[in-house]
Structure formats: C-alpha cells, structure tokens
Amino acid sequence: MTNKKKQKLDNPTMNQTIPHQINAPSFEGTGIKMQPPFINEHGVVIGDSLYSSPNSPLENWTANTDPEIMAGDEWVHPTNDIGWNTAENRELLESKKKPQAYPFMHPDKDVSKGSD
C-alpha cells in the first residue's frame, strides 16, 4: 500500500474468533493473533468478510482481465480466510493449544473408585 492514506477498517473478529462464520475456529490459546483487515496494493480490502470491494478485479471483470492479477499472498488474509475452516488447519490450531484440564479432575485422586 504505497501513497495511499491508511484508513481504519472494521474488524470482524471477536474474542480471537470470527463469529459470523459458523465453522470458524478460535485462535485463542494458539499464540496466533487475529489480524485486522488490510488494503492490498490494488486498493482491495482483504479480510473484512464482506467479500466485495469496489476496486476488486472480481467487481470489474471483463474479457480482458487476466486472472493472474489475483494471485499471491496479497489476496489472502492471514487469519480471516476460509482455509482455516478445513480439517487440516483446524488440527494445526488445536495442536498449538495447551492441553486443558477437565474441571473437577484430580490427577492424584481416583474419583471414580467404587462407582462401578
């Protein structure tokens, strides 16, 4: 983003998750911080979850538009991307979380003794 005035963009995240996506994973406890939306070098907002931007090639597509213009990292948001909803990426996030103890769990006491 060169020679463009930075603007404040709405951030669709809440509590380290993306609540508007039904299957969005939580980044809480993974060490990965949710990133705010950004404007790429083409003036397109990436990561605001509106999926429509007036400067987007998708909104201005013609027979002469080269699809390669939308290739590269500048078109992918690091944390608000549909790819996080895949099983592989969910596993990646879960592997980064510290194991949680269950409530009422006593590792040195067998609380189930005699309950059979």
The DSSP annotation for 20-35 comes to TSTTPPP-TTTTPPPP
Give the highest mean pLDDT range of 21-25, 52-56, 96-100, 102-106: 52-56
**Residue from 100, 44, 96 nearest 74 by CA:** 44
Q: Which of 39, 55, 56, 37 has its CA nearest to residue 47?
A: 37
3-state helix, strand, coil in the chain (%, to 5): 20, 5, 75
**pLDDT band at residue 2 using 50, 70 and 90 as cut-offs:** very low
Higher pLDDT pick, 19 / 38: 38
Gap between the Cα atoms of 50 and 43, Å rounded: 15
Over the stretch 51-74, which tens digit does the pLDDT of each residue have? 788 889 989 999 999 999 999 999
